[in-house]
Structure formats: C-alpha cells, structure tokens
Amino acid sequence: MFGLDTLGKAVGQLVNGFETNVRQGQQQMEKLLGDNGVLDAATLSTITEMSDAYRTMAEDLLLHPLRFAGAELDLARKHAALGYYTLARLVGKDKQPVVEPEPDDRRFQAEDWHKHLTFDVLHQAYLINSRAFLNWAAGMEGIPPAGRDQMLFYARHLTSALSPSNFPATNPEVLRITWERKGMNLIDGGRQLIEDLRQNPSLFNVGMTDRSAFEVGRNLATTPGKVVFQNELMQLIQYSPTTETVSKRPLLIVPPWINKYYILDLTARNSFIKWLVNQGQTVFIISWRNPGPSLRDKGWEDYMELGPLAAMDAVTEATSEEQMNLIGYCIGGTLLGSTLAWLKKKGRNPVASATYLTTLLDFSDPGGIGVFINDHSIRGIEKMLERKGYLDGRAMAFTFNLLRENELFWSFWTNNYLKGQKPAAFDLLYWNTDGTNLPARMHSFYLRQMYLNNRLVQPDSLSLLGESINLSEIEVPSFFLSARQDHIAKWKTTYKGALAHGGDVRFVLSGSGHIAGVINPPYKEKYGYWTNDTLVPDADTWFEQSEHHPGSWWPHWLEWIARFSDGDVPARIPGEGKLPAIENAPGSYVKVKAAEAVKQ
C-alpha cells in the first residue's frame, strides 16, 4: 500500500512538473507565432486549448492506470466479439453486427459498407474504438463542467476526423465510384476544392450548396417592398401590403446580424415575412450592414441606437403610430431585451408587445458554442479583433458548423471532394454560407459581458447609453419561442431568460432546431409545438405540464399578437408616407458579401 501511494505521489509530481513546462512552452510559442503574424491570436488560443485537452487525457492515463485498464479490457471484449462476427461471415453465417451507427449517423448507410466484409469490419471497429475513447474521456474525474465539455468537444472532433468515411482508400463508396468513373470523381472533386479555396481566400469553408443557383433579390428575399430609411449600420425595409386593411400597429423585426435577415424571407412558400404580410401586418425589418474594418469601433450601444431605436422612430414617422409590436430573432432578440430595459429606464413606451425567437437573455448555458467561451479564448479573439478590426463572418459560420461536424462539414467533404458530386441547390445552406462580419468592439462586448460574465440578467449590472438596465423591470407583454433541438440557444436556457423578463410572459416550445423550429410554415404540418401558459421555476416541470399541438406555431402566435393590433386601418403603401422610398427591397446592404465588406 505504501509503495502504491509513494508511486502515485511520484507520478503526480512528474505530471505537475510536465504540465508547468508545457504551459511555459505554450506561452512562448504563442508569443513567437503571434508576434510574427504566423497565426492570428484566436487560432493560437484554439490550438493551445486543443493541445491542453489532449494533454489532460494523457495525464489521466498516468494518474488512473486501473481505470484505463478497465476500459481497455472492455474494448478487448468487443473486439473479440467482432472477431467472432468476422469468422461467422467468412463461413457464410448470418450474425447480428457487434455495433451499429446511431440512427442519425449517415456516414455508413450505403450498402457498400455492409456488403463487403472488409469494410463491414472496418467501420464496426471504428465505431467500437471511437465510442470507447469518448466514453473513457467522459468518465475522467476531477474536471470542471466547462473543461469537460471542451475536452469532449475536441475528443469528438478527433474521432470524427479519423472516420474511414473521410478517406478515399477506406471508403468503399468512393472506391466504387472511382472505379466506375475511372478516377474522374477525384479530378472533379479537386476542381471543386480549388474553387472553394478561391471563394474563401485565407479562410476555407467547405462548399455546402450550388452558389450559382441563388441570388438575393432574384429567387431569395423577393417579398416586394421598399427601403424607406437607412444609416451607417442598417437599412429599414417596409413591405408592400397584400390586403386592403392592415393592423393599426405596425410590426418591426430585429433580425440577427451574425447572419443576414433573409432567413425570414427565403423562397416565397417558406417566407415568414410574406406570411405576415398576407395576414394583414404592416411589416418593417432591419437589414444590417455587413461591416468591415471602418466600423471597428461600433459597439452594442451603437447597434441599439442605430438599430431598433432608430428604426422605431422611422416606423413612427412612416405610419404616424406611436406604438408598435416588435420581434427579435437570436442575437436580435438579445438586443431587443436590452433596448426594452433601456426604454423602461428612460420612461418611454413605444412597444406594445415583444416576441423573442430562439433568444438567449440568460447565458448561463450557452450551448455548444460554450466550448470556446473562456477567458483565454476570448483574449485570443480580442487580440485578433484589435489587429483586424472585425471578426470575419466566414470564420463564425465555420465555428457554428463545427458544432455538428459530421453533418455540416465531413459529409460535404466526402460528397464534394471524394465522390466528385456537386452540392445540391438548397436555399437554407446558401443563406448559411452568406455570412456577415462583426465589428471588433461589439463582438468583444458580446462575448465578455453576455457569454462569459452573463451580465444581462444581473439587475443593473450593464449600463447602455448612460442607463443601467434591468430585464425584470420590463412591463411589455412578451412571447418567447424556443426550439427543442436548438444547439445554439438551448431551450432550457432561453426559459431562464423568460423567467428573468418582467411583464406578462408567454413561453412556447417548437419542435426541431434553431432555424427549422422558427421557419416552419403552416402548410408543412411539421414538428408541432408545446404550450403552457403558467411559467414555473423549473423548465422540465413546465414541459411535463405542457400541451402538445400539431403543426406550426405561426397561427398560435398570430392569435396572441392580435391582442395588440389596436384594430385595422387602410393598407399602407411603402414610400407614400413621410418617409420616401430609397430603393426596392431587398436593398443594397444585404447584397454585400463578407469578403467584399472587408475592402470597403
């Protein structure tokens, strides 16, 4: 016993000394590479954290050899079972596979993986090894939750990258297609790779859709309207009515500026904006500018002042209405909450109702993106922001894609570059690749004050435009729509934000995720939604007591918003009020690409 204890202490001291030397070496390497501009600070911090995660796993091997031995024993049993499975197939016997992919794992669905014994055994061995590795990493002791999530994120990415489906020599589908096409698939794939590299200079993103199939204003964002106001951060679009009368109170939408507004106005059948117009709403929407280095000093307060506050004044001028209904989507909803709390402190009441779509107000559990939220990572991002003046929207898109890497990266890698298939024309994926940049000052504030320090829900912790804000003081009736499978704004965390919000609060949970849970037109009759008019402290209890409804949440919301319409008036024509039309919708701001904005 004494010998084992002494050995354990010696190993612990060895590990601690090794860790100290490694950290010192990392700091020197970061300084050397960063100061010489070889890699930007954000990339360096990511590489450092990745190496930290893998080093932690290696240390666990030294400190807990018995646990690792137990995992190895279990792994050996499964490989023995795979050996028996292999022998059974060799002699022509049917036998149940030792392991099968998860139902949503499409990497090994093709018949080629099961028809040929070599590849059948290969993909099963990969699944056995990868699951054993991830289970072992998940069982590591003494790691705080944030560190564990980060470690599991990098462990998952390592196993995903090593999948046999990602390499031509170990993917039977690719080998068959290469034989059938005499290698032309690899040549076509190489051409696509070169084109994707050309489309994204210095920032590689895998091609996800046929870019030539879409054009904003031609077959996307086609709902008729006019730009009636603009400033250096946004254009305000007013849509043309399709009904003889409209609700007296206009509707203003504050979309996210991490992506472009036309997620709400894709093809006509899926357009939330067109549906709203057809329901007799006078719809206005903010179209954010795609910023470059010249807007580096625009902060959260500027987005509030030049965004919803300026837009509300413009809507009032265009319609002569002092009050309106507002919708905020994602970070647009976070800005909406900030604005309503500020308006309350100022004693102003221009908002009759507020709708929050998949919005974080409480950031205590930021979802998958939380693996990048720590002081070290943010300092690295801030150094990069200071140097460039903006965060490239393509980098942001790539980061979000990594949260579902097999679906949003490796599947396209295999189809595009190994099989030589052109990506399909898909409007949602086109929008997903049409990113926007983020100004340095705003993004630093957002990461630190919201994600890292969670100050928005702390009463009077944040000051904006000279006023401390408190969400609980808001008296505006609000409707929170969250999505059950949302990995960006987790629904239980958005529920906490609803609890922190003052006034009469309605919470509704949609099926599906961050996009499909919101963009769910009634004709599809998909996903369904849950309602419970009583907010209780615990989200799980709210869900257990909720009622499920089939179809889209849109008509349910329309019934709620009708309470704040204040009657009907003759339809309003954009440009015929006090605000003249500047140009046709969708305007010019939305057409600027992230790479083009950098040059402005």
The catalytic residue positions are: 330
Tokens linked to 317: 């001028």
Backbone angles phi, psi at 456, to 5 degrees: -65, -35
Kindly give the pairing relationship between strand 467-468 and strand 390-391: unpaired
DSSP of 435-471: B--EEHHHHHHIIIIIIIT--TTSTT--EETTEE--G
For residue 334, what are the CA distances in angstroms to 256, 257, 331, 340, 560?
9, 11, 5, 10, 21
DSSP 139: T
Dihedral sign, Cα of residue 69, residue 71, residue 74, residue 75: negative
Distance CA(399)–CA(233), nearest Å, equals 24
Tokens 């031995």 belong to residue: 69
For residue 33, what are the CA distances in angstroms to 22, 110, 135, 204?
16, 44, 35, 21
User: 402-409 long-range contacts, Cβ below 8 Å, gap at least 24?
Assistant: 402/157, 403/367, 403/368, 403/369, 403/487, 403/488, 404/487, 405/156, 405/157, 405/160, 406/105, 406/106, 406/107, 406/160, 406/163, 407/106, 408/208, 409/206
Q: Where are the beta strands (DSSP E) in 455-558?
A: 463-464, 467-468, 478-483, 505-510, 529-531, 547-549
Tokens linked to 363: 């950031």
Give the three-state DSSP class for 485.
Answer: coil
Tokens linked to 75: 């792994």
Give the three-state DSSP class for 208.
Answer: coil
Residue 330 contacts residue 487 (beta carbons within 8 Å): no
Distance CA(492)–CA(227), nearest Å, equals 37
**Number of C-beta neighbours around residue 64 at 10 A:** 18
Distance CA(205)–CA(552), nearest Å, equals 33
Distance CA(305)–CA(297), nearest Å, equals 14
Which among 186, 205, 200 is positioned nearest to 414, based on CA atoms? Answer: 186
Distance CA(264)–CA(455), nearest Å, equals 29
Give the three-state DSSP class for 585.
Answer: coil
Alpha carbon 193 to its chain's center: 24
Alpha carbon 494 to its chain's center: 14
Distance CA(578)–CA(317), nearest Å, equals 6
Q: How many residues does the chain have?
A: 600
